[in-house]
Amino acid sequence: MAGTPQTFAPAKQFVGIATEAVQGTAVAMTSTVLVDEVKPKDNPTFLDDKSWRGSMGNDAFAKIAGTKIAEVELGGPAYGDGIGFFLRNILGDLAYTGTSTGSGGTTLSVQATAGATSIQTAATIPAGTTVQIGSGATAECFVTGTPTGAGPYTIPLATPTGGLAYTHAATQAVQPVTAPFTQAHGLLNSGGGQPVSHTLTHFLGPTATSGARQYPGLCLSELGLKWNAESELLTWSGKGTSFPSVPAGVAPVASPSTVLPVASWRMLVGIGGPAAGATLIPTVTDGELTIKRELSPYYTVNGSQGPYVIQRGGLSVEGKLNFVAADESPLLWMLNNTQPQLQLLLDNGLTGVNKLTFQVDCQLAAFTDSEADGTKNAVEYGNSFQALFNTSNAGGSGGYSPIKVSITNNVPPGTF
Protein backbone atom coordinates (compact mmCIF):
# COMPACT_ATOMS: atom_id res chain seq x y z
CA MET A 1 0.00 0.00 0.00
CA ALA A 2 1.33 3.40 -0.93
CA GLY A 3 2.07 5.91 1.82
CA THR A 4 -0.27 8.75 2.71
CA PRO A 5 -0.13 11.49 0.05
CA GLN A 6 1.55 14.72 1.13
CA THR A 7 -1.00 17.50 1.57
CA PHE A 8 -1.19 20.76 3.49
CA ALA A 9 -4.12 22.03 5.54
CA PRO A 10 -4.92 25.74 5.01
CA ALA A 11 -6.41 25.85 8.51
CA LYS A 12 -2.84 25.72 9.89
CA GLN A 13 -1.66 28.79 8.04
CA PHE A 14 -0.66 31.97 9.86
CA VAL A 15 0.98 35.33 9.17
CA GLY A 16 3.88 37.00 10.94
CA ILE A 17 5.50 40.41 10.67
CA ALA A 18 8.69 42.23 11.64
CA THR A 19 10.10 45.71 11.11
CA GLU A 20 13.06 45.90 8.72
CA ALA A 21 16.29 47.81 9.20
CA VAL A 22 16.80 47.99 5.41
CA GLN A 23 13.90 47.93 2.97
CA GLY A 24 13.79 44.60 1.16
CA THR A 25 16.15 42.73 3.50
CA ALA A 26 14.02 39.96 5.00
CA VAL A 27 13.97 39.51 8.78
CA ALA A 28 12.40 36.78 10.91
CA MET A 29 8.91 37.47 12.21
CA THR A 30 8.68 39.00 15.68
CA SER A 31 4.88 39.07 16.00
CA THR A 32 1.96 37.01 14.78
CA VAL A 33 -0.65 39.01 12.87
CA LEU A 34 -4.17 37.69 13.33
CA VAL A 35 -5.97 37.84 9.97
CA ASP A 36 -8.68 35.81 8.31
CA GLU A 37 -7.57 36.57 4.77
CA VAL A 38 -4.19 36.78 3.07
CA LYS A 39 -3.51 36.75 -0.68
CA PRO A 40 0.17 37.06 -1.53
CA LYS A 41 1.16 36.84 -5.19
CA ASP A 42 4.53 37.00 -6.91
CA ASN A 43 4.40 38.90 -10.21
CA PRO A 44 7.49 38.23 -12.34
CA THR A 45 7.65 39.77 -15.81
CA PHE A 46 8.79 37.96 -18.94
CA LEU A 47 10.46 39.55 -21.96
CA ASP A 48 9.52 38.08 -25.33
CA ASP A 49 12.02 37.41 -28.12
CA LYS A 50 10.00 37.85 -31.34
CA SER A 51 12.90 38.22 -33.76
CA TRP A 52 12.16 36.77 -37.22
CA ARG A 53 13.61 33.33 -37.86
CA GLY A 54 12.22 32.42 -41.26
CA SER A 55 9.37 30.42 -39.75
CA MET A 56 5.64 30.99 -39.68
CA GLY A 57 5.57 32.34 -36.16
CA ASN A 58 4.56 35.72 -34.83
CA ASP A 59 4.70 34.89 -31.14
CA ALA A 60 7.67 34.53 -28.82
CA PHE A 61 10.55 32.23 -29.74
CA ALA A 62 11.88 32.68 -26.22
CA LYS A 63 10.82 34.16 -22.93
CA ILE A 64 13.53 35.89 -20.91
CA ALA A 65 13.13 36.45 -17.18
CA GLY A 66 12.47 40.12 -16.42
CA THR A 67 11.97 41.97 -13.16
CA LYS A 68 10.03 40.67 -10.17
CA ILE A 69 7.67 42.15 -7.63
CA ALA A 70 5.00 40.80 -5.27
CA GLU A 71 1.57 42.00 -4.22
CA VAL A 72 -0.11 41.26 -0.89
CA GLU A 73 -3.71 41.62 0.27
CA LEU A 74 -4.73 40.79 3.82
CA GLY A 75 -7.17 41.73 6.54
CA GLY A 76 -9.63 40.64 9.21
CA PRO A 77 -10.79 41.87 12.62
CA ALA A 78 -8.88 44.94 13.84
CA TYR A 79 -6.79 43.88 16.83
CA GLY A 80 -5.58 46.76 18.97
CA ASP A 81 -2.17 45.20 19.55
CA GLY A 82 -1.40 44.35 15.91
CA ILE A 83 -2.79 47.00 13.59
CA GLY A 84 -0.04 49.40 14.66
CA PHE A 85 2.43 47.64 12.34
CA PHE A 86 0.32 48.57 9.33
CA LEU A 87 -0.55 52.09 10.49
CA ARG A 88 3.14 52.86 10.91
CA ASN A 89 3.85 51.30 7.52
CA ILE A 90 1.44 53.54 5.62
CA LEU A 91 1.67 56.73 7.73
CA GLY A 92 5.15 56.67 9.27
CA ASP A 93 5.08 59.26 12.07
CA LEU A 94 4.80 57.72 15.55
CA ALA A 95 4.51 59.28 19.01
CA TYR A 96 4.65 56.83 21.93
CA THR A 97 3.29 57.62 25.38
CA GLY A 98 2.71 55.55 28.51
CA THR A 99 0.91 55.71 31.82
CA SER A 100 2.99 57.43 34.51
CA THR A 101 4.05 55.26 37.43
CA GLY A 102 3.82 58.37 39.64
CA SER A 103 7.40 58.24 40.87
CA GLY A 104 11.02 58.27 39.71
CA GLY A 105 10.62 61.15 37.30
CA THR A 106 13.51 63.41 36.32
CA THR A 107 14.51 65.80 33.54
CA LEU A 108 17.07 66.00 30.77
CA SER A 109 20.26 67.76 31.87
CA VAL A 110 21.23 68.70 28.33
CA GLN A 111 19.58 68.61 24.93
CA ALA A 112 19.19 65.12 23.48
CA THR A 113 19.51 65.11 19.70
CA ALA A 114 17.72 62.86 17.24
CA GLY A 115 19.66 59.63 16.76
CA ALA A 116 21.24 59.68 20.23
CA THR A 117 21.38 56.25 21.90
CA SER A 118 21.64 57.67 25.41
CA ILE A 119 20.41 60.67 27.38
CA GLN A 120 21.78 62.66 30.32
CA THR A 121 19.43 63.19 33.26
CA ALA A 122 19.47 65.09 36.54
CA ALA A 123 18.63 61.94 38.54
CA THR A 124 19.60 58.35 37.87
CA ILE A 125 17.20 55.77 36.43
CA PRO A 126 17.55 52.02 37.15
CA ALA A 127 18.30 49.69 34.24
CA GLY A 128 15.25 48.06 32.73
CA THR A 129 12.95 51.01 33.41
CA THR A 130 10.49 52.03 30.70
CA VAL A 131 10.59 55.81 30.42
CA GLN A 132 8.77 58.42 28.38
CA ILE A 133 10.90 61.26 27.06
CA GLY A 134 9.02 64.46 26.28
CA SER A 135 5.30 64.75 25.64
CA GLY A 136 2.80 65.34 22.89
CA ALA A 137 3.67 64.77 19.26
CA THR A 138 7.36 64.11 19.94
CA ALA A 139 6.95 61.79 22.93
CA GLU A 140 9.07 58.63 22.85
CA CYS A 141 9.32 55.58 25.10
CA PHE A 142 12.42 53.48 25.74
CA VAL A 143 13.59 50.75 28.06
CA THR A 144 16.79 51.94 29.74
CA GLY A 145 20.16 50.28 30.08
CA THR A 146 22.66 50.47 32.97
CA PRO A 147 23.23 54.07 34.10
CA THR A 148 26.69 55.61 34.55
CA GLY A 149 28.04 58.83 36.02
CA ALA A 150 27.48 60.73 39.24
CA GLY A 151 25.26 63.55 38.04
CA PRO A 152 24.33 64.28 35.39
CA TYR A 153 23.76 60.58 34.74
CA THR A 154 24.13 58.91 31.37
CA ILE A 155 21.17 56.65 30.66
CA PRO A 156 21.48 54.23 27.71
CA LEU A 157 18.37 53.81 25.53
CA ALA A 158 18.39 50.04 25.08
CA THR A 159 15.03 49.28 23.46
CA PRO A 160 14.03 50.14 20.81
CA THR A 161 17.39 50.31 19.08
CA GLY A 162 18.32 53.11 16.71
CA GLY A 163 18.18 55.99 19.16
CA LEU A 164 15.85 58.95 19.48
CA ALA A 165 13.52 59.84 16.65
CA TYR A 166 13.26 63.47 17.76
CA THR A 167 15.43 66.12 19.39
CA HIS A 168 14.43 66.95 22.98
CA ALA A 169 15.38 70.18 24.73
CA ALA A 170 17.10 70.30 28.11
CA THR A 171 14.72 70.13 31.10
CA GLN A 172 12.15 68.05 29.22
CA ALA A 173 10.56 65.42 31.44
CA VAL A 174 11.83 61.86 31.63
CA GLN A 175 9.13 59.88 33.40
CA PRO A 176 8.94 56.15 34.24
CA VAL A 177 5.79 54.74 32.62
CA THR A 178 3.91 51.49 32.32
CA ALA A 179 1.02 50.12 30.27
CA PRO A 180 -1.37 51.02 28.84
CA PHE A 181 0.63 52.74 26.10
CA THR A 182 -0.72 54.94 23.32
CA GLN A 183 0.75 55.12 19.83
CA ALA A 184 -0.30 58.17 17.79
CA HIS A 185 0.22 57.65 14.05
CA GLY A 186 0.37 60.59 11.64
CA LEU A 187 1.89 61.33 8.25
CA LEU A 188 5.70 61.33 8.25
CA ASN A 189 6.99 64.56 6.68
CA SER A 190 10.62 64.72 7.84
CA GLY A 191 13.66 63.43 5.96
CA GLY A 192 12.67 61.60 2.80
CA GLY A 193 9.14 61.07 4.09
CA GLN A 194 9.53 57.29 3.87
CA PRO A 195 7.97 55.15 6.62
CA VAL A 196 9.55 51.90 7.80
CA SER A 197 9.00 48.75 5.77
CA HIS A 198 8.13 45.28 7.04
CA THR A 199 8.76 41.65 6.20
CA LEU A 200 5.56 39.63 6.03
CA THR A 201 5.94 35.89 6.71
CA HIS A 202 3.23 33.53 5.46
CA PHE A 203 3.27 29.95 6.76
CA LEU A 204 1.20 27.84 4.38
CA GLY A 205 3.06 24.52 4.29
CA PRO A 206 4.42 23.63 0.84
CA THR A 207 7.67 25.63 1.05
CA ALA A 208 10.61 23.25 1.59
CA THR A 209 12.28 23.15 5.02
CA SER A 210 10.40 26.05 6.66
CA GLY A 211 6.89 25.76 5.25
CA ALA A 212 6.81 29.55 4.87
CA ARG A 213 7.59 32.28 2.38
CA GLN A 214 8.62 35.81 3.26
CA TYR A 215 7.60 39.00 1.49
CA PRO A 216 10.29 41.58 2.33
CA GLY A 217 10.09 45.33 1.85
CA LEU A 218 6.30 45.41 2.25
CA CYS A 219 4.84 48.88 1.67
CA LEU A 220 1.11 49.41 1.97
CA SER A 221 -0.77 51.26 -0.74
CA GLU A 222 -4.11 51.05 1.07
CA LEU A 223 -5.42 50.51 4.59
CA GLY A 224 -9.15 50.46 5.22
CA LEU A 225 -11.34 50.31 8.32
CA LYS A 226 -14.99 49.19 8.28
CA TRP A 227 -17.68 48.99 10.94
CA ASN A 228 -21.36 48.15 11.23
CA ALA A 229 -23.14 48.56 14.56
CA GLU A 230 -25.67 45.82 13.87
CA SER A 231 -23.54 42.98 12.58
CA GLU A 232 -19.77 43.43 12.55
CA LEU A 233 -16.58 43.73 14.49
CA LEU A 234 -14.32 46.62 13.60
CA THR A 235 -12.42 45.15 10.64
CA TRP A 236 -9.49 46.23 8.52
CA SER A 237 -8.05 45.40 5.12
CA GLY A 238 -4.75 46.21 3.48
CA LYS A 239 -3.08 46.11 0.09
CA GLY A 240 0.62 46.42 -0.51
CA THR A 241 3.65 45.81 -2.69
CA SER A 242 6.77 43.94 -1.65
CA PHE A 243 10.03 42.68 -3.03
CA PRO A 244 9.73 39.18 -4.58
CA SER A 245 9.14 36.45 -2.04
CA VAL A 246 11.90 34.27 -0.62
CA PRO A 247 11.69 31.01 1.34
CA ALA A 248 11.95 31.50 5.09
CA GLY A 249 15.20 30.02 6.38
CA VAL A 250 13.67 28.36 9.42
CA ALA A 251 10.15 27.31 10.29
CA PRO A 252 8.30 30.17 12.02
CA VAL A 253 6.23 29.56 15.13
CA ALA A 254 2.82 31.12 15.65
CA SER A 255 2.45 33.04 18.91
CA PRO A 256 -1.04 34.56 18.73
CA SER A 257 -2.13 37.30 21.08
CA THR A 258 -4.94 36.73 23.56
CA VAL A 259 -6.30 40.23 22.91
CA LEU A 260 -9.82 40.19 21.44
CA PRO A 261 -11.28 42.36 18.68
CA VAL A 262 -13.99 44.92 19.47
CA ALA A 263 -17.63 45.03 18.36
CA SER A 264 -18.61 48.00 16.19
CA TRP A 265 -21.57 48.97 18.37
CA ARG A 266 -19.11 50.36 20.90
CA MET A 267 -17.98 53.08 18.50
CA LEU A 268 -18.73 56.76 19.18
CA VAL A 269 -18.75 59.33 16.38
CA GLY A 270 -18.13 63.03 16.82
CA ILE A 271 -18.78 65.57 14.05
CA GLY A 272 -17.90 69.21 14.63
CA GLY A 273 -15.93 68.24 17.72
CA PRO A 274 -15.00 65.23 19.88
CA ALA A 275 -17.12 62.09 20.20
CA ALA A 276 -18.68 63.41 23.42
CA GLY A 277 -21.08 66.08 24.57
CA ALA A 278 -22.96 68.17 22.02
CA THR A 279 -20.86 66.93 19.09
CA LEU A 280 -21.53 63.23 19.74
CA ILE A 281 -23.59 61.94 16.78
CA PRO A 282 -25.68 58.91 17.86
CA THR A 283 -27.23 58.18 14.44
CA VAL A 284 -24.35 56.58 12.47
CA THR A 285 -25.18 52.97 11.55
CA ASP A 286 -22.06 51.94 9.65
CA GLY A 287 -19.16 53.32 7.71
CA GLU A 288 -15.69 52.94 6.32
CA LEU A 289 -12.45 54.89 6.10
CA THR A 290 -9.64 54.31 3.62
CA ILE A 291 -6.05 55.56 3.72
CA LYS A 292 -4.40 55.42 0.29
CA ARG A 293 -0.71 55.82 -0.52
CA GLU A 294 1.00 56.19 -3.88
CA LEU A 295 3.73 53.59 -4.48
CA SER A 296 6.32 53.29 -7.26
CA PRO A 297 8.81 50.41 -7.50
CA TYR A 298 12.03 51.58 -9.14
CA TYR A 299 14.28 49.12 -10.99
CA THR A 300 17.91 49.82 -11.77
CA VAL A 301 20.66 48.03 -13.69
CA ASN A 302 22.30 46.56 -10.61
CA GLY A 303 22.12 42.84 -11.37
CA SER A 304 18.97 42.23 -9.37
CA GLN A 305 15.50 41.31 -10.63
CA GLY A 306 13.92 42.90 -7.58
CA PRO A 307 13.31 46.63 -7.25
CA TYR A 308 16.02 49.00 -6.09
CA VAL A 309 13.43 50.70 -3.88
CA ILE A 310 9.68 50.87 -3.40
CA GLN A 311 9.11 54.60 -3.11
CA ARG A 312 6.19 56.05 -1.19
CA GLY A 313 4.41 59.04 -2.69
CA GLY A 314 1.44 61.14 -1.64
CA LEU A 315 -1.27 60.07 0.80
CA SER A 316 -5.02 60.62 0.84
CA VAL A 317 -7.90 59.70 3.15
CA GLU A 318 -11.55 59.20 2.24
CA GLY A 319 -14.56 57.56 3.84
CA LYS A 320 -18.29 56.97 4.05
CA LEU A 321 -20.82 57.33 6.85
CA ASN A 322 -24.43 56.18 6.84
CA PHE A 323 -26.91 57.95 9.14
CA VAL A 324 -30.43 57.44 10.40
CA ALA A 325 -31.88 60.86 9.58
CA ALA A 326 -32.69 62.81 12.74
CA ASP A 327 -32.55 66.04 10.72
CA GLU A 328 -30.86 67.40 7.57
CA SER A 329 -27.43 67.82 9.14
CA PRO A 330 -25.67 65.25 6.89
CA LEU A 331 -27.00 67.03 3.78
CA LEU A 332 -26.16 70.50 5.12
CA TRP A 333 -22.55 69.53 5.92
CA MET A 334 -22.17 68.97 2.18
CA LEU A 335 -24.28 71.85 0.87
CA ASN A 336 -22.66 74.41 3.19
CA ASN A 337 -19.16 72.97 2.75
CA THR A 338 -18.83 72.98 6.54
CA GLN A 339 -15.75 70.71 6.67
CA PRO A 340 -16.29 69.77 10.34
CA GLN A 341 -13.96 67.89 12.62
CA LEU A 342 -14.56 64.13 12.57
CA GLN A 343 -13.60 61.83 15.43
CA LEU A 344 -14.17 58.07 15.70
CA LEU A 345 -13.65 56.50 19.13
CA LEU A 346 -13.87 52.79 19.90
CA ASP A 347 -13.20 51.49 23.42
CA ASN A 348 -13.33 47.85 24.54
CA GLY A 349 -14.65 48.93 27.94
CA LEU A 350 -11.80 47.40 29.95
CA THR A 351 -9.24 49.09 32.21
CA GLY A 352 -5.52 48.98 32.97
CA VAL A 353 -3.33 46.79 30.80
CA ASN A 354 -6.44 45.25 29.22
CA LYS A 355 -7.70 48.58 27.90
CA LEU A 356 -7.93 49.01 24.12
CA THR A 357 -9.02 52.14 22.29
CA PHE A 358 -9.02 53.16 18.65
CA GLN A 359 -9.24 56.89 18.02
CA VAL A 360 -9.34 58.36 14.53
CA ASP A 361 -9.10 62.14 14.17
CA CYS A 362 -9.70 64.08 10.95
CA GLN A 363 -9.64 67.76 11.84
CA LEU A 364 -11.18 68.74 8.49
CA ALA A 365 -13.65 66.31 6.92
CA ALA A 366 -15.11 67.68 3.68
CA PHE A 367 -18.41 65.96 2.88
CA THR A 368 -18.52 65.70 -0.90
CA ASP A 369 -21.65 63.62 -1.40
CA SER A 370 -24.90 63.13 0.51
CA GLU A 371 -27.74 60.94 -0.72
CA ALA A 372 -31.12 60.65 0.96
CA ASP A 373 -32.63 57.16 1.08
CA GLY A 374 -36.41 56.98 1.53
CA THR A 375 -36.82 53.31 0.62
CA LYS A 376 -36.48 51.87 4.14
CA ASN A 377 -38.51 52.05 7.35
CA ALA A 378 -36.54 55.12 8.47
CA VAL A 379 -35.11 57.86 6.26
CA GLU A 380 -31.35 57.58 5.92
CA TYR A 381 -28.50 59.64 4.52
CA GLY A 382 -25.37 58.21 2.97
CA ASN A 383 -22.41 60.61 3.03
CA SER A 384 -18.94 60.45 1.50
CA PHE A 385 -16.06 62.57 2.80
CA GLN A 386 -12.46 63.45 2.15
CA ALA A 387 -10.05 64.29 4.96
CA LEU A 388 -8.13 67.51 4.29
CA PHE A 389 -4.52 68.19 5.24
CA ASN A 390 -4.08 70.26 8.39
CA THR A 391 -1.51 70.93 11.12
CA SER A 392 -3.67 69.67 14.01
CA ASN A 393 -3.32 66.06 12.88
CA ALA A 394 0.42 66.39 12.15
CA GLY A 395 2.91 64.53 14.32
CA GLY A 396 6.41 65.26 15.54
CA SER A 397 7.79 65.34 11.98
CA GLY A 398 5.81 68.54 11.37
CA GLY A 399 4.07 69.64 8.20
CA TYR A 400 0.50 68.62 7.47
CA SER A 401 -1.48 65.41 7.85
CA PRO A 402 -5.11 64.58 6.98
CA ILE A 403 -5.46 62.07 9.81
CA LYS A 404 -4.15 60.94 13.17
CA VAL A 405 -4.87 57.42 14.43
CA SER A 406 -4.19 56.75 18.11
CA ILE A 407 -4.23 53.22 19.52
CA THR A 408 -4.11 52.47 23.27
CA ASN A 409 -2.92 48.97 24.22
CA ASN A 410 -0.44 46.92 26.22
CA VAL A 411 2.26 46.91 23.53
CA PRO A 412 5.74 47.87 24.82
CA PRO A 413 7.97 50.31 22.93
CA GLY A 414 10.06 48.87 20.12
CA THR A 415 7.40 46.47 18.89
CA PHE A 416 6.27 48.30 15.77
Q: How far apart are CA 250 and CA 9, in angstroms?
A: 19
* Same-domain check for residues 286 and 380: yes
Model pLDDT, residue 393:
98
Count of CB atoms situated within 10 Å of the CB of 161: 10
* Residue after which a domain boundary falls, among 164, 184, 204: 184
Residue 318 inside a domain? The answer is yes
Residue 279 inside a domain? The answer is yes
* Same-domain check for residues 369 and 238: yes
* Same-domain check for residues 151 and 280: no
Residue 157 inside a domain? The answer is yes
Tell me phi and psi for residue 17, to 5 degrees.
-150, 155
Cis bond before residue 180 (omega within 30° of 0): yes
Model pLDDT, residue 390:
98
Residue 239 inside a domain? The answer is yes
Residue 56 inside a domain? The answer is no
Model pLDDT, residue 4:
86
- Closest CA relative to residue 120, chosen from 176, 169, 177, 178: 169
Q: How far apart are CA 34 and CA 260, in angstroms?
A: 10
Contacts with 212 (C-beta within 8 Å, 6 or more apart), sequence order: 201, 202, 203, 204, 247, 248, 251, 252
* Same-domain check for residues 351 and 387: yes
Q: How far apart are CA 416 and CA 141, in angstroms?
A: 12
Enter the DSSP assignment of 2. Answer: P
Model pLDDT, residue 2:
66
Residue 3 inside a domain? The answer is no
* Same-domain check for residues 162 and 268: no
* Residue after which a domain boundary falls, among 149, 184, 219: 184
* Same-domain check for residues 205 and 172: no
Residue 388 inside a domain? The answer is yes
* Same-domain check for residues 75 and 87: yes
Model pLDDT, residue 58:
85
Distances (CA, A) of 17 to 82, 91, 233, 361: 10, 17, 23, 26
* Same-domain check for residues 180 and 192: no
Q: How far apart are CA 107 and CA 180, in angstroms?
A: 22
Print the domain residue range for 114.
Answer: 96-184
- Closest CA relative to residue 36, chosen from 263, 252, 199, 238: 238
Count of CB atoms situated within 10 Å of the CB of 170: 12
* Same-domain check for residues 227 and 291: yes
Residue 59 inside a domain? The answer is no
Which residue blocks in 94-205 are alpha helix, DSSP H? Answer: none
Model pLDDT, residue 318:
98
* Same-domain check for residues 289 and 276: yes
* Same-domain check for residues 145 and 239: no
CB-based burial label for 246 (10 Å; 0-12, 13-18, 19+): middle
Give the chain's domain count. 2
* Residue after which a domain boundary falls, among 184, 206, 239: 184
Q: How far apart are CA 255 and CA 188, in angstroms?
A: 30
- pLDDT tens digits, the chain, 416 residues: what are they? 567 899 999 999 999 999 999 999 999 999 999 999 999 999 999 999 999 999 998 899 999 999 999 999 999 999 999 999 999 999 999 999 999 999 999 999 999 999 999 999 999 999 999 999 999 999 999 999 999 999 899 999 999 999 999 999 999 999 999 999 999 999 999 999 999 999 999 999 999 999 999 999 999 999 999 999 999 999 999 999 999 999 999 999 999 999 999 999 999 999 999 999 999 999 999 999 999 999 999 999 999 999 999 999 999 999 999 999 999 999 999 999 999 999 999 999 999 999 999 999 999 999 999 999 999 999 999 999 999 999 999 999 999 999 999 999 999 999 99
* Same-domain check for residues 162 and 294: no
* β-bridge partners, 345: 268, 359
